[in-house]
Amino acid sequence: MARGWPPPAQEAPSAEETLTLWDRHADNLILWLDANLRPRRASSASQALLGLPPQALLAQGLPVAPQDIPALQALLASARSHRVTAPTRLRVRQHNGGLIWLDIRAASDGRGGAVLTARDATALHRAEAQLAAARQQIAAMGLTDPLTGLANLRRFNEALAQEHRRASRDAQPLSLLALVPDQFAAYCDRFGHVQGEAALRRIAQTVAATLQRPADLAARGDAEELLILLPNTNALGGTIVAGRIRRAVRALHIAHAGTPAGILSLAVGLAWIDPGTPPEALISAARAARRPDSEARSGEGRISDQPRGAVPLALLASDEPL
């Protein structure tokens, strides 16, 4: 038999002995809690992480932010039930008053208590937050027109389908305005496409600012076209919104000798649907109803009494509210 075999029996190290070994070799904060969840031992990493020496941490306990205490309690309950816990990210206050993020694991100590190991996750949390914000920005860019800042056609089509379902379910009207700057091609030919894009951007921002309800959606359609989706809005309501938009755009006083008024104005079309009408025809109906500002000024001053579909807009050039 080889010398020294079998090895002498050894007792398993106590929790305190284990913590002492960990304290010598680990940079993470280690905190041992007894069966009453009172802190009994803390590693020296508490000084580097929290600005608290171990004895001070034991005296005051782990300074977890109040909003994260339920998460810590759930972590400890899992550990005391001898379940393996995934890292839980909690906010912890440092001695100087600042907050850091710690990824904390918990394990049973075998005697009703728990051993917590925590590592600084502040830099990781900040990087993850920046990544999430970048992803949201990329997703938003995929639904936003880069020139005007309005929703793009993809976002508009999604909203149209959603609002049509809601209108059909709740038996509510749904209206759409289709707008284009009047004689815009001539404006771009005279002043150039760069100035034309700048003018379209100003008009789009003015149109968006005119909308008063969160559910109303302004989008860029084809080329210089702007589309306004107006949920729970009938023909009269759509006419009122269109008149407000037209007045706001005329107030920009963007010079254009090619129009009767000498400024850029809007050609506007309105269409609406009753529940049960398919949404696909809404855009084409609004485009077909589009009339320039000069024709709106000479209109009869009343809305067509058609039950649904395209409505030529009269009275929209009036500066008086309907």
pLDDT for 136 beyond 80: no
Average confidence (pLDDT) over 127-150: 82
pLDDT for 82 beyond 50: yes
Among candidate residues 125, 160, 195, the one where a domain is terminated: 125
Among candidate residues 97, 125, 153, the one where a domain is terminated: 125
Q: What is the pLDDT of residue 321?
A: 34
| Degrees to nearest 5, angle at CA 92 with 85 and 61 | 85
- HSE of 286 in the Cβ direction (CA atoms, 13 Å)? 29
- Domain-embedded: residue 219: yes
- Domain-embedded: residue 3: no
Q: What is the pLDDT of residue 199?
A: 95
Please check whether residues 157 and 121 belong to one and the same domain: no
Please check whether residues 115 and 179 belong to one and the same domain: no
Q: What is the pLDDT of residue 21?
A: 61
The model's pLDDT over 15-30, given as tens digits with 9 standing for 90+, comes to 566 666 666 656 789 8
pLDDT for 93 beyond 90: yes
Q: What is the pLDDT of residue 277?
A: 66
Question: What confidence category does residue 72 fall into, taking pLDDT thresholds of 50, 70 and 90?
Answer: very high
Question: What confidence category does residue 303 fall into, taking pLDDT thresholds of 50, 70 and 90?
Answer: very low
CATH number assigned to the domain comprising residue 62: 3.30.450.20
The model's pLDDT over 259-277, given as tens digits with 9 standing for 90+, comes to 778 899 999 999 987 656 6
pLDDT for 8 beyond 50: no
**Number of neighbouring beta carbons within 10 Å of residue 84:** 10
CATH number assigned to the domain comprising residue 304: 3.30.70.270
Q: List the structure tokens of 38.
A: 């009172």
- Domain-embedded: residue 235: yes
Please check whether residues 150 and 284 belong to one and the same domain: yes
Please check whether residues 209 and 164 belong to one and the same domain: yes
pLDDT mean across residues, the chain: 82
Q: Could you give the number of structural domains in the chain? A: 2
Q: What is the pLDDT of residue 320?
A: 34
Average confidence (pLDDT) over 281-300: 71
C-alpha–C-alpha distance, residues 169 and 34, integer Å: 59
- Domain-embedded: residue 233: yes
- Domain-embedded: residue 133: no
Please check whether residues 168 and 69 belong to one and the same domain: no
- Domain-embedded: residue 24: yes
Please check whether residues 259 and 203 belong to one and the same domain: yes
- Domain-embedded: residue 135: no
Average confidence (pLDDT) over 116-125: 92
Please check whether residues 94 and 179 belong to one and the same domain: no
- HSE of 227 in the Cβ direction (CA atoms, 13 Å)? 27
What pTM was estimated for this model as a whole? Answer: 0.55
Please check whether residues 198 and 247 belong to one and the same domain: yes
Average confidence (pLDDT) over 98-122: 90
Please check whether residues 292 and 245 belong to one and the same domain: yes
Question: What confidence category does residue 282 fall into, taking pLDDT thresholds of 50, 70 and 90?
Answer: confident
- Domain-embedded: residue 8: no
Least confident of 84-93, 122-131, 302-311: 302-311
Please check whether residues 177 and 251 belong to one and the same domain: yes
* Sheet containing strand 99-108, strands side by side: 39-42, 29-33, 114-120, 99-108, 88-93
Please check whether residues 112 and 247 belong to one and the same domain: no
The model's pLDDT over 19-60, given as tens digits with 9 standing for 90+, comes to 666 666 567 898 988 888 889 889 889 998 999 999 999 999
Domain of residue 200 covers: 145-311
Please check whether residues 120 and 152 belong to one and the same domain: no
Among candidate residues 125, 153, 177, the one where a domain is terminated: 125
Question: What confidence category does residue 1 fall into, taking pLDDT thresholds of 50, 70 and 90?
Answer: very low
Q: What is the pLDDT of residue 113?
A: 87
- Three-state secondary structure call for residue 310: strand
Average confidence (pLDDT) over 302-309: 35
Q: What is the pLDDT of residue 308?
A: 40
Question: Cα–chain-centroid distance for residue 203?
Answer: 25
